[in-house]
């Protein structure tokens, strides 16, 4: 499904109330959490430990799955989500578009969880050979960041390739059917494609992207319910601590949760290192600001933004 179609469908879901609407004031309030396959929110969802903690505060949780960060933040902009998580690029594009989001935490990096892959028989062996090629990725995603940095490392610009904006599911089909020559993507979609054995890595993510998860919230929710945000982050931290040394158990849990092949999930888990939940530091703000400024220079971001404006001065009880 293409990004525009995702946006249209999302608008329909929101209009019909299928993405989740806050109920009338009462004892049963809903925390609406947007998540992506294999992200650490999936571990929290599968664990089932959040629900009883929220129930003690009169809340229930509604989990809403998205294929990538950009449509997740579209839902937050529509007022249909309280919390979500993405890679580095989506919040920059969302902030530039006026989405009322704030950063509340970040994970440790996981650079091996992203790559640019090509068909196994392709002649493309590195970033320089992407010139003139059709490269698929989700616009405004961490995969977009990887493409930009691959091109810059090889003295190329975005005009030197044919960018094809595709959802993860469409990207894999396009690569397998010859619709694109290369595909920039992240786990678990990356691991699932590698597991079949018909693709190989042409460019590694390590050294080019950090592969962090950024944990985001609707500004209005943070303003009104800091206690629930703090509870959520504390439970996320605890569950990730449990998962850190239980890769086999986590792989089985996520395979059941996502419906993705256990071998692919195990491959993705073996290179995941996002098990810390940390406060947003000045260094992370500076890294996001540098990326935003570069996107503006390239004409990809419509206007300059100040990332720090989306970082609330709130102590959520996290390590730096």
Asked whether residue 122 is assigned to any structural domain, the reply reads: yes
Are 184 and 47 members of one domain?
A: no
Domain stop point among 173, 204, 235: 204
* 102 and 243 housed in the same domain: yes
Residue that is last in its domain, among 139, 171, 204: 204
Instruction: Determine the Cα–Cα distance for residues 91 and 242; give it in Å rounded to an integer.
Output: 28
Per-residue tokens: 116: 């640019």
Q: Count CB neighbours of 143 within 10 A.
A: 31
**Are both 123 and 83 inside the same structural domain?**
no
Looking at the chain, the number of H-run helices and the number of E-run strands are: 13, 11
Residues 118 and 132 in one domain: yes
Are 223 and 303 in a shared domain? Answer: yes
102 and 128 share one domain? no
Q: pTM of the entire structure? A: 0.86
Number of domains in the chain: 2
pLDDT at 4: 40
In a domain, 317, yes or no: no
How high is the pLDDT of residue 115? 97
Return the half-sphere exposure (C-beta side, CA atoms, 13 A cut-off) of residue 280: 25
Short-list 56, 47, 43, 116, CA closest to 85: 43
Question: What would the two tokens of residue 16 be?
Answer: 């019909």
Please check the confidence at residue 7 and state whether its pLDDT lies above 70: no
Residue 318 domain-assigned?
no
The range of the structural domain enclosing residue 180 comes to: 111-204
In the predicted model, what is the mean pLDDT of the chain? 90
Same-domain pairing of 100 and 218: yes
pLDDT for the residue numbered 101: 98
Query: How far is the first Cα of the chain from the last one, in angstroms, to the nearest whole number?
Result: 38
Q: Please, where are the H alpha helices in the chain?
A: 3-16, 40-47, 50-55, 69-77, 90-96, 142-153, 168-177, 189-196, 219-224, 226-243, 247-258, 262-270, 282-297
- Residue at a domain's end among 145, 180, 204: 204
Inform me whether the pLDDT recorded for 158 exceeds 50. Answer: yes
- The domain spanning residue 69 has which CATH number? 3.40.190.10
pLDDT band at 22 (very low <50, low <70, confident <90, very high): very low
Q: Judge contact between 68 and 141, C-beta under 8 A.
A: yes
Tell me the C-alpha distance between 159 and 38, whole Å.
32
Residue 240 belongs to a domain = yes
Angle at 166 between CA 160 and CA 168, to 5 degrees: 120
Residue 320 in any domain: the answer is no
Condensed to tens digits (0 to 9), the pLDDT of residues 103-157 reads: 999 999 999 999 999 999 999 999 999 999 999 999 999 999 999 999 999 999 9
Same domain, 115 and 103: no
Query: Could you tell me if 103 and 252 lie in one domain?
Result: yes
Residue 301: its pLDDT value, please? Answer: 94
Is the domain of 227 the same as that of 276?
yes
Q: Identify the DSSP state of 130.
A: G
Q: What is the pLDDT of residues 177-219, one digit of tens each?
A: 999 999 999 999 999 999 988 899 999 999 999 999 999 999 9
């Amino acid at each position: 499904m293409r990004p525009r179609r995702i946006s249209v469908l999302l608008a329909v879901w929101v209009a019909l109330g299928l993405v989740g609407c806050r109920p009338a004031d009462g004892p049963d309030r809903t925390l609406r959490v947007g998540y992506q396959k294999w992200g650490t929110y999936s571990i929290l969802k599968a664990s089932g430990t959040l629900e009883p903690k929220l129930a003690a505060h009169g809340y229930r949780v509604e989990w809403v799955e998205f294929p990538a960060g950009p449509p997740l933040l579209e839902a937050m902009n529509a007022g249909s989500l309280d919390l979500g998580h993405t890679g580095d690029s989506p919040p920059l594009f969302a902030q530039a578009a006026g989405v009322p989001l704030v950063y509340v935490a970040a994970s440790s990096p996981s650079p091996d969880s992203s790559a640019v892959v090509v068909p196994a028989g392709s002649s493309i062996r590195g970033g320089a050979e992407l010139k003139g090629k059709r490269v698929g990725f989700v616009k405004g995603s961490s995969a977009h960041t990887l493409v930009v940095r691959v091109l810059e490392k090889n003295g190329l610009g975005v005009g030197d390739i044919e960018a094809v904006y595709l959802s993860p599911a469409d990207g894999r089909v396009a690569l397998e059917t010859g619709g694109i020559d290369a595909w920039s993507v992240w786990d678990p979609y990356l691991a699932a494609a590698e597991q079949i054995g018909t693709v190989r890595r042409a460019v590694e993510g390590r050294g080019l992207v950090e592969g962090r998860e950024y944990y985001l919230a609707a500004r209005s929710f943070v303003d009104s319910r800091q206690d629930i945000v703090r509870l959520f982050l504390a439970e996320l931290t605890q569950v990730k601590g449990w998962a850190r040394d239980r890769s086999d158990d986590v792989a089985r849990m996520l395979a059941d949760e996502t419906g993705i092949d256990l071998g692919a999930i195990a491959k993705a888990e073996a290179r995941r290192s996002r098990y810390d939940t940390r406060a947003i530091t000045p260094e992370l703000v500076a890294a996001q600001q540098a990326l935003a400024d570069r996107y503006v220079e390239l004409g990809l971001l419509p206007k300059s933004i100040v990332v720090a404006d989306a970082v609330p001065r709130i102590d959520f009880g996290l390590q730096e």
